[in-house]
Homo-oligomer: A and B are copies of this chain.
Amino acid sequence: MIRVSILGATGYSGGELIELLLKHPAVSLKHFTSESSAGKPVHSVHGSLRGRVTSNFIKADLKKIAADSDVVFSCYPAAAGIKLNAELVAKKVKVIDLSADFRLPTAALYKTWYKEKHTAPGLLSKAVYGLPELFREDIRRATLIANPGCYATAAILSAAPLFKPLAVDASSIIIDAKSGTSGAGKKLSADYLYCEVNENFRAYNVARHRHQPEIETVLQSFSRVPALVTFTPHLVPMQRGILSVLYATLKKSTSTQALLALFQRFYEREPFVRILPEGELPQTKNVAHTNYCDIGITQDSRMRRVIVVAALDNLVKGASGQALQNMNLCFQRPETEGLL
């Protein structure tokens, strides 16, 4: 059995992880940490787990966690878990970090976007970006996995087939993405009160969201092409789901069928990417509570503009499900185990 602990387990991705791990046949759940809820039953925070998880949250304790865990999932907010995770890695515990702490290539870029000094910069080059569709073999060998951002997962999966070989103008890319509200986590901010979100739709951090550099650097590291992406996120009055629409200018005219074939070939062996037939487009409800990313392709041929629509569940393929997929890879389990 793989012994698993979850750090910072009171939030939405923590709750989703527990639900998924409970159904995984090869996992033994060990510790759930929380500074604020230590001592309280896990079900006092995640009410659906009453009667199914009987343990209490504990405070993070390096020794205990290292001794009892083969892998930890770290769900801390930005910068809060860097030190602990570095220590766990040093003790050969595998770390799958759902925060952004190890996603960007340099401490300088991290400081620019997250306003925090990175306290383990030496690990940045060792961390593997945990997007199996692009980096599967690296993930199998990794000790520290930077689990991708939810928006970034949708955006990169939409863009990657267009980048190798480069089929579009690499500075023409616009990603107009929309996310359900669980993406914001359980932050206690008036902006996320029911009455502020319901019956409201808005864009935020337009062209200055933290996933923009993540998308750009990952596309670049994958394709060796310098990509420039204008990224616009929106808040949708619903709980889970991301729909991302990519616009890019094709280098030369082509048919929609040819574009579809390009995507089908790129993802033909992928268990969690579904390419839709011509004329169909993804909807978030079809991927809710699943680890799938659905992708549809169309174009405005007048301007040689390709349009790629992707849908995924921000808590599953965009966070906890993908983390579990990464765990399966790290521990030589079937990649889809516990996820279908």
Query: What is the interface of chain A, defined by CB distance below 8 A to chain B?
Result: 12, 22, 47-48, 50-52, 171-172, 174, 176, 178, 180-182, 186, 188-190, 192-204, 206-207, 228, 230, 232, 234, 236-241, 243, 245, 247, 274, 276, 281-290, 292, 294, 298-300, 302-303, 305, 307, 309, 311, 340
Contacts and interface: CB of A to CB of B under 8 A. Distances in A.
Residues of A contacting B: mostly: mixed
A200 B303 contact: no
Select the residue from A12, A50, A182, A200 with max chain B CB neighbours within 10 A.
A200
A236 B237 contact: yes
Contact of A238 (B176, B188, B199, B247): B199
Given A50-B276, A181-B198, A200-B285, 4 more contacts: A47-B286, A48-B288, A194-B194, A200-B241
What is the copy number of this chain in the assembly?
A: 4
The 4 closest A-B pairs by CB, nearest first: A47-B286, A200-B285, A194-B197, A202-B283
Contact of A202 (B172, B240, B281, B299): B281
Given A48-B290, A207-B299, A232-B307, A182 B195 contact: yes
B202 A195 contact: no
Contacts of A193: 186, 188, 192-194
